[in-house]
Amino acid sequence: MTEQSLGPFPCPKTPNGYQPIVKRLKDMIECNNWKDKFEQAVYDAQKTGVENMTNISCLTDYYNFLNYLVLWVPKENETGTFTFYTAENYNVDSYVVPQGGWLGHSFNEFFARKFLPGTRPIDGPSNPAIIVSAADSTFDGCCNINTDSIVYLKGLPWTIGELLADSKYSNDFAGGKFMHAFLAPYDYHRQHAPVDGKVLEAKVIPGQTYLEVNVKKNFNGKHRLIPTALDAPDSAGYQLTVSSVVLCVKGEEIGKDGKVVEGDEVKKGDEISYFQFGGSDIVLLFQAQSKVKILADIHKHYRVGEQIAIAHIAE
């Protein structure tokens, strides 16, 4: 892909020569007396030594940069187009390729790609006691659930109550088990039912927007925002949007599993949702009555359908 210019960026020939969106921002800043704050922000950004700020030293420079950016048209070369497609970690041979190939499709469509039939066999499909991984993910641990239980997802603390977002079933998991796994950017990002059952509740909890950029020096000693390798920290700040999906699935054999579309009957391994916009986390909650024993090993990667736990069902 062609890189953006580092400037200097040309100033419009007339005060009203900015693009409409830039002019709107400029007017908003002036109307609200935010100029000093934005000047300080530009100053602070340039102090970091980021190469992209070389020719942006004041608010006017920033307006000129934005004006340039609105008109800049990126162009992809063949190498850039197939960067993700040829990356070994993405294992693209295991996934469905859309008719006509991936050209013309967004990265989000590629990110939520579907696997080929037969590439994710389900362990114990007829055994309700066997619980399988709901996502291609790395197991990060488990704990018992109580009123004050706090879990950390992408570095942010959540109580079980917050995690269930006022679900009417939130109290049903007291004394049960909680387990957490995380997905890397290259993982398959669709989720599947870990057990058979009926979906009692399904909701999306909107998240907040974050941007966390770790600036590193290149071999010339200059700070650059251009990545030289895939280095995505698994933290909330790295995500554009952190949202949650709460699905409550009741299996006749093992009770409710805190996780799809209300009223649906799902079979173990059925697709139930998908994520976009970056790395993700997945959490499973089990009622005490299911007497679940977690079999997964911490920091081990499991594919959809692989056994991670077993329920010791009371007779």
The dihedrals phi and psi of 45, each to the nearest 5 degrees, come to -65, -40
pLDDT of residue 301: 96
Query: Per-domain residue ranges for the chain?
Result: 20-71, 75-111, 122-210+239-310
Tens digits of residue pLDDT in 256-305: 444 456 788 889 999 888 877 665 788 898 888 889 999 999 999 999 99
pLDDT tens, per residue, the chain with 315 residues: 456 677 788 888 777 789 999 999 999 999 999 999 999 999 998 888 888 888 999 999 999 999 998 888 776 665 555 666 677 787 888 899 888 887 777 878 888 889 999 999 999 999 999 999 999 999 999 888 876 666 666 566 677 777 776 778 878 888 888 888 999 888 999 889 999 988 888 876 665 544 444 555 554 554 444 433 333 344 433 333 334 445 555 554 444 444 456 788 889 999 888 877 665 788 898 888 889 999 999 999 999 999 999 998 644
- Write out the DSSP string of 151-203: EEETTEEEEHHHHHTT-TTGGGGTT-EEEEEEE-TTS--EEE-SS-EEEEEEE
pTM: 0.62
pLDDT of residue 268: 93
Tell me the residue type at 87. Answer: A
What is the separation of C-alpha 44 from the centre of its chain, rounded to a whole number of angstroms? 29
pLDDT of residue 293: 93
What topology is assigned to 122-210+239-310 in CATH?
Glucose Permease (Domain IIA) (2.70.70)
> How far apart (Å, rounded) are the C-alpha atoms in residues 263 and 247?
11
